[in-house]
A and B are shown apart, each in its own frame.
Chain A
Amino acid sequence: MLKANGINKRYGHQIVLQQASLEVKSEIKALIGINGSGKSTFLKIVAGIVEPDEGQVVINERDVSSLPPELRHVGYVPQHPALFKHLTVKDNVLYGLRKEAKVDYMKVVEMLDIKDVLHKRPHELSGGYKSRASLARALVPQPQILLMDEPLTGMDVVLKERILPDFRRVLKELQVPVLYITHDPKEAELLADSYAIIDNGKIHSVNTSIEAFDIIHNSILQAYSC
């Protein structure tokens, strides 16, 4: 469970987030917005990677606003798989497990179908498998919320349509709350339970991905009509 309240963030004179608030319950929530709307910034603030100017982040009733990323128990799947190139896939996947933790990581590995590539190095994997490994790495330490920042960017549509339902099945089975960021309402539809849009530094909930699509559509038109 995630609650972000009244997040403000500016870079120099540019206001990126203005009183942005969002709640993620036990659900997969897609946050949709056009490029440059501040999606990544918002997600990095939740993860503790970027410091907000103002605002509060609460995860499972715990105010984590002043904690560094390593104490927040969030999973992070960035835009590029960002695998650790000097480690095998297995060591990547196990990276978040501290010694005392005994977690059955094979469940995640099998669900994401990466068992056969565990011994490989990241550069030997195809794009799809890199994304799977990146997701597995974030899931294995059992985060309290999973943050995904357009993890399938650059992947072709056919592959996306195959991999997203897979991801959804895994995330549902593990019952992890997810904040999934995308600029593509169609992608959101394949994965999410609920939708929110980010526009002009604010976040609004919407009921359907179609509604999200309309709002995004209009704001793109607005942005490019002078």
Chain B
Amino acid sequence: MNKNIIKIFFIPLFFLLIVFPILALIFNLSVDGIQATMVDPFFWDSVKNTMLAALLAAGMAVVVAVGFAYYHLFHPESLVYKVANLFNDLPIALPHTVAGLALLLAFGRKTFGFLGETGAAFTLFVVILAMFFVSYSLAARTLVSGVDNMEPEVIDVARTLGDNTVQVYFKIVLPLMREAIFSGFVLGFSRSLSEFAAVIMFGGNMPGRTQVLASYVFTKVEVGDLDMAVTAAVFCVALSFLIVSVLSIRRPKYAES
């Protein structure tokens, strides 16, 4: 077989399908677009909303994932774990419009009507819930693989030294999993940044209130402000690059034994 076979299909496909679209965005930047976007208060609101909601959603995702990883480690036979495990990966395969609809029905007018006409829906708070819903599984998977990579004897020794399962989890397991926790947070954060469908169905797309970067780009395309859409899009690309590089810089410090 031709030893260049991998090169021949990988390089053109990768550059055509991944790199080229990103370059297309960058080459379409225009001075007018950048200027208009930079003075648009709704753009900055959407940046602020995105960052704030994604940070909080990722934080929540990690907290809940810490709970799940505990069950994974110490009570894998329990009913709680089995049910949680079943639901865990569901959001990954679920169309995010479905997630948005589910959230809308759960926290909307019927159940949370006392909060107002539309229940809890269409507030920044539910944008966070939507982001949490789609990013939790990523955080949970990352933490579970962190737990699975631990040397079990370390936990056993701590138990014989007097720790119950909760003590050993907080004093030994979590500190040793700092890298996994951090990765889980960053993955959850980036998943939250990129969420569109669930956010827009549940939180709406109200400039200045519940609009996030993803929905800002969508709105600008829809109303024909392509220049501004491109500017916001390149901003997103830069943000993603930043996150990816943060992830790759912080590689395991505790790899040595």
Query: B-side binding surface: helix, strand, loop or mixed?
Result: helix
A109 to chain B, nearest CB (A): 16
Stretch at the interface among A69-77, A158-166, A191-199: A69-77
Q: Answer whether residue B254 sits at the interface, using C-beta atoms and an 8 A cutoff.
A: yes
Q: Mark A79-92, 1 if CB is under 8 A from B, else 0.
A: 11011111000000
Chain A residue contacts of B163, Cβ below 8 A? 70
User: Size of chain B's interface in residues, with CB distance under 8 A?
Assistant: 19
A12 to chain B, nearest CB (A): 15
Given contacts A85-B257, A86-B254, 9 further A-B contacts (CB under 8 A): A69-B159, A78-B157, A79-B153, A80-B257, A82-B153, A96-B160, A96-B162, A98-B162, A134-B157
Listed A/B pairs (22) with beta-carbon separation below 8 Å: A49-B159, A49-B160, A69-B160, A70-B161, A74-B160, A78-B153, A78-B156, A82-B151, A82-B153, A82-B154, A84-B154, A85-B254, A85-B257, A86-B175, A96-B161, A96-B162, A123-B254, A123-B257, A137-B157, A138-B157, A138-B160, A143-B160
* Number of A-B residue pairs having CB atoms within 8 Å of each other in the complex: 67
Q: Mark B134-167, 1 if CB is under 8 A from A, else 0.
A: 0000000000000000010110111111111000
Which single member of B156, B172, B175 contacts A69 (CB below 8 Å)?
B156
Are B154 and A70 in contact (CB-based, < 8 A)?
A: no
Chain A residue contacts of B257, Cβ below 8 A? 80, 85, 123
Measured CA separation A69–B164 after assembly (Å):
8
Q: Answer whether residue B34 sits at the interface, using C-beta atoms and an 8 A cutoff.
A: no
Chain A residue contacts of B256, Cβ below 8 A? 123
Chain A residue contacts of B176, Cβ below 8 A? 84-86
Chain B residue contacts of A49, Cβ below 8 A? 156, 159-160
Measured CA separation A69–B162 after assembly (Å):
7
A interface with B by C-beta (< 8 Å): 44, 47-49, 68-70, 72, 74-76, 78-80, 82-86, 95-96, 98, 123, 134, 137-138, 141, 143
A112 to chain B, nearest CB (A): 16
Measured CA separation A123–B257 after assembly (Å):
6
Measured CA separation A69–B151 after assembly (Å):
17
- In chain A, what residue has the closest Cβ to B172? A84
Chain B positions 155-211 with a Cβ under 8 Å from a chain A Cβ: 156-164, 172, 175-176, 178
Measured CA separation A8–B257 after assembly (Å):
34
Are B151 and A70 in contact (CB-based, < 8 A)?
A: no
The 9 A-B pairs with the shortest beta carbon distances in the complex, nearest first, are A96-B161, A78-B153, A69-B159, A82-B153, A76-B160, A86-B175, A82-B154, A123-B256, A49-B156
